[in-house]
Amino acid sequence: MSTFSSENVINRHINNADLNVYFVGFDGGIYRDSHLTDYIMDALVDFAYGYHTGILKTYDRRIMVEAAKSLYSIDEFKSAFQKYVTEDSEFDDSSSDKYLKRGEFGELILHLLLRDFFETVPLLSKIHFKDSYSMTVHGFDAVHVGNFNGADSLFLGESKLYQNGKDGIDALMKDIEEHFTKDYLNKEFTIVGKRSSDFKYFDEISDLNTKKAYEDFLTKKDDWFNKINGLQSGKQKLSSLLSSTTIPLLCTYSSETFTKHNDETTQEFRDEFDKEINQLKTYFDKKFDIHTSAMGANLNIILLLFPVPSKKELVRLLHTKLEAQQRA
């Protein structure tokens, strides 16, 4: 059983070393967007606070309300609510202000997929630290730890939520070019390393059901922070750290396949869906050689594709539920 059981509604259609594909099907001809957004909202507290407050198996109303408010304390989320709900509009993919798009839930969807399908745990939550320290901790959309191909791995994720899949891939490629440079990585790892002690102590965890899980997490956390902080002392090479790093690139996008069909079990749907995915993967491979080395290390890059009927409707529904959660 996964952390949030989102596999009850999210199907993993392809699970390869360099490509994962997810989709949500239909029930009685109706796309299951309400169920999807429920599972995304289930991950809200985990996304907002990470393990900085300890492992929580259940969340009471107060914590859920605080998590919702923490997102709307960020200007980008307030602007996105105004755009999608109040104005019934959306940000265009070509918008030059990429920060406004951070209010579109791509990071939260990535968090859910990593937790449930890759069985990672969040090493840091930027929302927690922005809420607590009025600062952004890292530039990556996700910093998790987990396992890739049988080895411990640091997951540095990027996410895009776009109207067009190819435009989303283009934006992900731009992130790779900007973020995987020596100067950028050294700066980000320096910021991340300073947060190594910002977790609850083991003795502070009162829930015996989660105490062992938190103890295991603290061991993993210390191992990775030792590696990250080793960069500053010269004990760790950047290339060595990157060789044990996995880069999940999530593109959630609007797909006509899900507006032209209303039954994912038909051969017609499967044929059109597979054709769409193959075209996007081919486009991705042309944009970026999956074996390209960075800083002397082969990056473990995984493209995650998650087509939905309408990016606009998904974001609008999530903002509606998130705003209501503040008043729960």
Instruction: Average the pLDDT over each of 26-40, 235-249, 291-305 and give the range with the smallest value.
Output: 291-305
| pLDDT the model gives residue 194 | 83
| Residues 6+ away with beta carbon under 8 Å from 108 | 40, 43, 44, 47, 318
Cα separation of 218 and 200, whole Å? 9
Quick one: which of 261, 303, 258, 263 has its CA closest to 284?
303
State the pLDDT confidence band at 103, using cuts at 50, 70 and 90. low
Cα atoms in the 13 Å half-sphere on the side-chain side of 263: 5
| pLDDT the model gives residue 91 | 86
Average of per-residue pLDDT across 60-87: 85
Average of per-residue pLDDT across 264-284: 97
Evaluate if residue 134 carries a pLDDT over 50. no
Cα separation of 122 and 182, whole Å? 23
Domain extents for the chain? 6-325
- Mean pLDDT, the chain, rounded, equals 87
Looking at per-residue pLDDT, the higher value among 137 and 274 belongs to 274
Average of per-residue pLDDT across 131-150: 74
Evaluate if residue 259 carries a pLDDT over 90. yes
Evaluate if residue 137 carries a pLDDT over 70. no
